[in-house]
Amino acid sequence: MADQEDKLGGNISLINFGVLEPAELIVVKKIVGTYVKKLSERANYKSLKLRLKQSEHGKSFLHEIDAEAIIVASQSEDGKNIVLSSSANDRSLFSALSEVLEKIISQTEHTSRSTKQVGGEMKRRQVKRLEE
């Protein structure tokens, strides 16, 4: 079976989310929109791709979501692209979605800081210790 891809805006792809009920899809889009706003506040991101895999276990489904985000390493557009990826499994679709996007946000915060920023923080801590 071929993957079904839906686009949200120009840079967000939802793959295999078409199997969801319309009400579930609306909530998914709102959750993704909230996290994309957080992502864009923390880094210059180019794209976000989410892939849903469902497997039936008894009377419920296990939802596996894989996420891949591409961010630009520096503030300029010609910076190096960094690919971040994460995955989460849960019986609750919305919990899995939130978990995978939180992981992407966390990775973004750690990788988007420049060496100069980290060095500045280290200097400030060292000066603070000397003053104490």
SS (H, E, C) the chain: CCCCEEEECCCEEEECHHHCCHHHHHHHHHHHHHHHHHHHHHCEEEEEEEEEEEEEECCEEEEEEEEEEEEECCCCCCCCEEEEEEEEEECCHHHHHHHHHHHHHHHHHHHCCCHHHHHHHHHHHHHHHHHC
Instruction: Kindly list the domain boundaries of the chain, sorted by start residue.
Output: 5-131
Residue 119 has a pLDDT of 67
- Predicted pLDDT at 116: 60
Measured distance CA(123)–CA(120) in Å, rounded: 5
Local structure of residue 40 (DSSP, 8 states): H
End-to-end CA distance of the chain: 64
Would you identify the CATH topology of the domain 5-131?
Answer: Double Stranded RNA Binding Domain (3.30.160)
Q: How confident is the model at residue 52, as a pLDDT? A: 94
pLDDT, residue 23, reads 94
Question: Can you give the pTM of this predicted structure?
Answer: 0.77
- Residue 110 pLDDT: 79
Q: What is the mean pLDDT of each run of 10 residues along the chain (132 residues)?
A: 74 91 93 92 88 88 93 66 92 95 90 64 81 78
